[in-house]
Amino acid sequence: MSVITDKLGRPLKDLRISVIDRCNFRCTYCMPKEIFGRDFIFMPKEQLLSFEEIERLAQIYVDLGVRKIRLTGGEPLLRRDLPTLIKKLTEIDGLEDIGLTTNGSLLGHMAEKLKAAGLQRVNVSLDALDEELFQSINDSGIKPERVLTGIEKAKEAGLEVKVNMVVKKGMNDKEIIPMAAYFKERGIALRYIEFMDVGQSNGWDFSKVITKKQIFEELKQHFDLESVEPAYLGEVAKRYRYRGTNTEVGFITSVSESFCSTCTRARIAADGKMYTCLFAEKGFDYREMLRSGMSDEEIKDAVVSVWSNRTDRYSDERTEESAKNRSKIEMSYIGG
């Protein structure tokens, strides 16, 4: 089949699949405890896509040109028997890359199982090395040492590891240099993510954003950096290398330097709804199609129809007003 493109000529190449909407962290910029408290009702098991349904959808997307799949959440390692799903996905002919985004708290005892199942790489979210600060951000009592141990176990298991740090002014901007120094010394790529207006509950506004330019200027005072060319169309991170090393630092610049024009990603939430943008207002329900007896060809036609009519370019058009007033899906539901 020829490459599917949307209304702006962007091909469908990448798929993010959220396997669960639950998380054991309550990060203040993602799942604040005031909203996602003890009485918050998460999806019951029967609303989640089964592994067989995820595998079937993944096969359809690969048939349509997807080459990379990333599993997300919530916290995906909370999904029971996740290595079983990973093994199923690795057996799909034509799929070239499987990754996972995790907060790292459960990675220590799962890394070897994940690697054995066929997982190739993990992106670990870590916003601070300072213990008190990290605990105040995740609001769950979990210490950074637990995540750092998970990172080491993942490396020992043979997984490629990158670390993602969301930078928010007044929250953890003092950790920019300590994080860079720590992971440079260990040869692990670090990526700074500009604080984004995902969902309705993180209290975002422009004044809380520290831009890539600001972070880069701070890094330059301590490190000698050289730019790295993008590895492929649609690569999100703007990448640099510490001169004289193979260790990289990158930036996810959704706010200050949007990358909508090269976005090749579709997203499937844990309940089977497809979203064509991280900042989407509504999704397309595949679970109903999967469970109503529709054929693969019928579902494939639906995917083609949704993608070929895609016009999303939210970050290109973001304003303070649209960020506050537009209804957006929560990050914990849609996956990062």
Binding-site positions for S-adenosyl-L-methionine read 29, 74, 125, 196
Binding-site residues, in ranges, read: 16, 23, 27, 29-30, 70, 74, 101, 125, 162, 196, 260, 263, 265-267, 277
For the chain, the 3-state helix, strand and coil shares in percent, each to the nearest 5, are: 35, 20, 45
CB of 70 closer than 8 Å to CB of 119: no
Q: If we measure between CA atoms, which residue out of 199, 122, 124 comes closest to residue 166?
A: 124
C-alpha to C-alpha distance for 299 and 287, rounded to whole angstroms = 10
Binding-site residues for GTP, in ranges, read: 16, 70, 101, 162, 265-267
Please state the three-class secondary structure of 154-203 as a single string. HHHHCCEEEEEEEEECCCCHHHHHHHHHHHHHCCCEEEEEECCCCCCCCC
Binding-site residues for [4Fe-4S] cluster, in ranges, read: 23, 27, 30, 260, 263, 277
Cis peptide before 74 (omega within 30 of 0): yes
